[in-house]
């Protein structure tokens, strides 16, 4: 994707500030970066800390792939941050169905130009008590199947120790280690020609979430839960922060 002069300049400015800070805060290991497609693609990472967009964005930018995130529309209203998001062609996501469809249309245009679009299938920070990926939303699968776009699963682990889920402050000492692994594009060929109904999208989303979870299990050296966490079954909201009653945010496993 050919970035505009303004977008390039803004990315260079942000990278000049963020990369030294990221390198100072944590050591890093990146694996599988050669699996990133040469053309446009959807990156689908796990989501366990507010700073993981910086972790994923850092990795992609260093591979000369400017990251374009689907981001909450409210972030574009934050003074100072909003202009940077717009200048680098990040994609605002409204919670309404019409707004979500508009966001996917813009994302499709970015990918068609050869860009990298990052979609968190979980839609928000995982509610899983052990920080495993929870049940995903179907936006990434829909975009991939509508446009025959490769979906690249990405897992990361370690950044949550620097800034815990729902945390209020950074934990810089001792220095932490962030690891990112890029997987092979998810094989969605079985869905070619099928109607993009609820069942198809749910099945494709499960494959994407399975791929992300498998990568994370490899990073953690642990077996994931037998059943994926489903906020609806736990009577939790789909979006926004969820704090378990009687517990305080920022204290390890306090928030789900």
Rounded to whole angstroms, the Cα distance separating 157 from 193 reads 36
Residues 6+ apart with CB under 8 A from 233: none
Rounded CA gap, 88 and 93, in Å? 15
Q: How far is residue 182's CA from residue 72's CA, in Å, rounded to a whole number?
A: 24
Count of all residues that appear for the chain in the document: 256
pLDDT in the model for residue 241 = 64
- Angle between helices 5-25 and 52-62 in degrees, nearest 10: 120
Judge whether 122 and 165 are in contact, CB under 8 Å: no
Give the pLDDT confidence of 212-251 residue by residue, as tens digits: 999 999 999 999 999 999 999 998 876 666 554 334 433 3
pLDDT score, position 246 = 37
Packed helices 198-220 and 139-147: angle between N→C axes, nearest 10 degrees: 110
Secondary element (H or E) of residue 29: strand 26-31
How far, in Å, CA of 146 to CA of 20, rounded? 38
- May I ask the CATH architecture of the domain 5-220? 3-Layer(aba) Sandwich (3.40)
Q: Give me the pLDDT at residue 81, please.
A: 94
**What's residue 3's pLDDT?**
84
* CA pseudo-torsion sign 195, 197, 203, 206: positive
Confidence at 252, pLDDT banded by 50, 70, 90: very low
pLDDT recorded at residue 98? 76
Distance in angstroms (rounded) separating the CA atoms of residues 152 and 146: 16
The phi, psi pair for 107, rounded to 5°, reads: -60, -40
Q: Is the Cβ–Cβ distance between 150 and 34 less than 8 Å?
A: no
Nearest C-alpha neighbor of 161 from the set 184, 143, 179: 179
Every domain of the chain and the residues it spans: 5-220
Global pTM exceeds 0.85: yes
**Burial class of 16 by CB neighbour count within 10 A (0 to 12, 13 to 18, 19+):** exposed
pLDDT digits (tens, 9 = 90+) for 132-180: 999 999 999 999 999 999 999 999 999 999 999 999 999 999 999 999 9
């Amino acid at each position: 994707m050919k970035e505009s002069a303004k977008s390039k300049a803004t990315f260079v400015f942000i990278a000049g500030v963020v990369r030294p800070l990221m390198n100072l805060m944590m050591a890093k290991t990146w694996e599988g970066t050669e699996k990133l497609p040469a053309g446009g693609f959807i990156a689908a990472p796990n989501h366990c800390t507010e700073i993981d967009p910086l972790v994923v964005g850092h990795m992609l930018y260093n591979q000369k792939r400017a990251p374009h995130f689907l981001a909450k529309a409210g972030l574009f209203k934050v003074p100072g941050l909003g202009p940077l998001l717009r200048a680098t062609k990040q994609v605002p996501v409204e919670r309404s169905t019409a707004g979500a469809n508009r966001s996917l249309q813009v994302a499709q245009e970015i990918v068609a130009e050869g860009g990298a679009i990052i979609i968190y299938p979980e839609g928000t920070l995982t509610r899983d008590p052990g920080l495993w990926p929870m049940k995903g939303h179907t936006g990434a699968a829909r975009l991939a199947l509508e446009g025959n776009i490769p979906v690249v699963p990405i897992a990361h682990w370690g950044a949550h120790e620097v800034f815990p889920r729902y945390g209020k402050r950074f934990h810089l000492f001792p220095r932490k280690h962030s690891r990112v692994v890029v997987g092979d594009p998810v094989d969605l060929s079985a869905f070619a020609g099928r109607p993009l109904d609820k069942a198809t999208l749910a099945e494709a989303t499960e494959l994407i979430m399975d791929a992300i979870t498998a990568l994370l299990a490899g990073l953690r050296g642990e077996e994931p839960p037998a059943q994926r966490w489903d906020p609806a079954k736990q009577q939790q909201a789909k979006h926004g922060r969820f704090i378990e009653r009687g517990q305080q945010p920022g204290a390890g496993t306090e928030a789900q």
